[in-house]
Structure 1
């Protein structure tokens, strides 16, 4: 075989069997040559080429700018690469990657066009982006929902808020709340639903059922269409949402029962100290349980997903753009892991018992200053060897947290001063240089709920608290606990 014949044979073999499209296009957008894959994808016959405008197969939304690009390549005689969409012979949209090279000194301004079908890659990128966007929506939903639950005071309000969130995230779910009693005439399905475990997702035929809790011998069940949940990400979201709901439902039941028992005491305009202690202890126990559950379930699931994704990215050869998207998702998981850990630490401060109050407060101040605009000065007097009961330690820690939150939200202060003193009693003195407020208007309301909570917590620990402030003259808070409460 002569060399020229061999080269022709090799060229014909390549053009016949390549999966890419290689073509020569003139200035009038006519196809002068193309490989067989063009006919395979678009269904044209070779006889149709003379009458075909190559841009007829381009998606209408991409056609105009792609024609402008073709003119620019001819005018500048510069190579060009781009991506665009086409309509194949079956009417389906495909994504193409195109590299165009002008052939110099040709009468019809010919260009060589090399086209590769990147539809599969684009679909993967779009799916990754869709999942990333969905993940962000679900995370935001959980954040907003958990924040809104702090204002829920009745079970009916909790039901309404839950149904609203499920309808928003899962539009086709048709959620409703079922209330089942303990009657003997329950049918088989109702009997099964009545006995399902609280917070566990159970499917019966085309519906999911999740038990929220029990109240007055009745079971509260959330039901929704099973087809509305498309993947495991949405299942995890729903279980987490219900978990938050279960916690609030149980707390509302506890509060309602306590309020019923204390109706007589409340009529005397009294709030017994033991009631306050009980409420705060219950709150701390729920914080501990929630922190442990978040750490042992949601956090571990997030860490597992992160490690699997990290292994996938590092183990396989992946397109650069896809890898960039995967890295973005990986970073999102890291951010979520950090947020969950931060939430766990806020719910239950780590090593509070082991470190002691003074060291724990130092850590809290150091952590707070990293993300705050104010400076914190912390002083102690005669606190060496100070040993407090766990209840008092946690109580003081929460009071300090509330002071920090109040300063961050309302004070506009640049300097916060904390002083812990032991001299026959335990004193906490706080002051700032913020905007202050009129103490004569300090009444229990949602605008100063933090200060009211501090006052009640101090009262529950047999302490006293005094607020000293005037408008634009900062705030000073004096807190004192009797020596008998130190639990040495």
Structure 2
């Protein structure tokens, strides 16, 4: 059995309990005093979610009184979606489980609104029962600050991303720790390429040393700076001039961490200012050294500046000129002219004509010199305008034009003499500009019957030309001449139609001249009607000679083939028969054999001559087959490869005489290639393409200068090309030669099919 406590023990136990109660009451009283004056809300929550204690601050945060808080369950304070979470947290803490007891959430106030809070919880024993001790801190202000900070950061980020400046941040060693996207526009580098790079590595070489010293000073004495100008290297090798601004950046301990700043591209401004300084320097140099005189006047026409060149122009010093009036500067006639101009301009300015203030005024005035002589000058002047476009003075340039005046006087006399010469020329002459005759002499009107007005109405000088092809050629020649190009040949023939409808053949020659300050062509016309008649007569005689020559060739060919060749063949057969006699001595046999061999070669030579004089098979096989055989034979004898091709010829009826001419043209063309071209290949094309029959002869030889070659052929009396031209003319056709040195040559012959071929 347990021993019963004595009275003394009971009294001692009661005393201890009373002391413990007193201490607990004291502790609760102290807790209540501290909690009621705390800045944060304090609540004690039991396992069933009711508040057994709440201080004043907790009640204020949630909109309740202290008494009401003791009746409020945690369910009423939590958002509906968080009630299970709150209840679970309380129960787990009361059970003593170990997990995070610090978090942020939103609580529902008495008014139904929510308030952001920061909660810190712990497990306690409250009056003998486990409970949840919770500290509630209202973070509404903090949240607002965070939102404001976030918004501010967004605005800053937006500003950095959209500003035309490049924003950056450097550490204490000058390395980039941040670079905005704009660095791509500035330097051509992506931000990732710049971050980690030292700023000195991006500077132009001449700026790196001074910038290194400057940045050291900024580290030793941190302060904001602006207006620091450097030149930086772009990724593409170009350079950009920037104005740098920066401000110190400190860490949380207050120590300098680096600099935050931005760069502004001032390349254009910098270059503009530099150009302006250079321009001002050049202007002053020019003003003080040019022969022209630069001057300024105020609105009362008093001289306010004159350049030193005035002394070279007129003999007066700058000071003497500054004190002169217009009456002293100008001769009487020029003074009158100047006053008329000045009064007119000032009158228009007074009427509000602002456009007049922006005009440049030009006048030619005669001025007095210090030695008593006069000089002619050209004056160009403009008003000096203020920021409101109001005239504040006049600036001008004076140039000595005495030589020009004398030249103009000489020119007037020269033009008068030229006009008399132009009008008295016996041959027609016209000045042509832009396809229009702008001047003709009387001889032109006498020959063609047109006045200048008639020509203008008819569409210009080219309207007189009869052939459209000749018009095209004339237009090209005039254009080349006006543009300063050499025209070859210098002379050419063309047919013009007079006012009476008469066709007048003329030889035309043109030269390039300047007329009224613009290029023009001075064209002379020589009436070659009589010469044309003589040339036609000569051509007719040549045609007859060629025809006679062909007939003689045919006769000679027949004689060679039918008589001489036959006689030689008989002799050849006879010698061959003699060789069969066995009684011949070896010496005689050898001599007869040699005679036989010579006879055989002579027969072949005569046969070739006969074929050359009269193409074999031309009548029997026709032109195409005969030319094909000739080209084949030519290739075998010369080693020049000939590519012959014809088209459409089979459908044409061609006389024997015409075939002879066409055959001779091709024959002569190939002979020229063999003699002069050094070609390896030749091309012959014979094509009937209505309304023309076209022969094209080409080679891949060394080519030649056409004009020089024609002159040389004429001097050397070579008839090959001329013979081809005459035969083409016999068939009423034309021949064109094209050749470039080193690129071969081409001959194109066009014969109308309507010609009696």
Shorter-chain TM-score: which interval? 0.3 to 0.5
Tell me the TM-score normalised to structure 2 length.
0.28
More strand by share: 2
Query: With CA pairs under 8 Å and 6+ residues apart, which has the higher RCO, 1 or 2?
Result: 1
More helix by share: 1
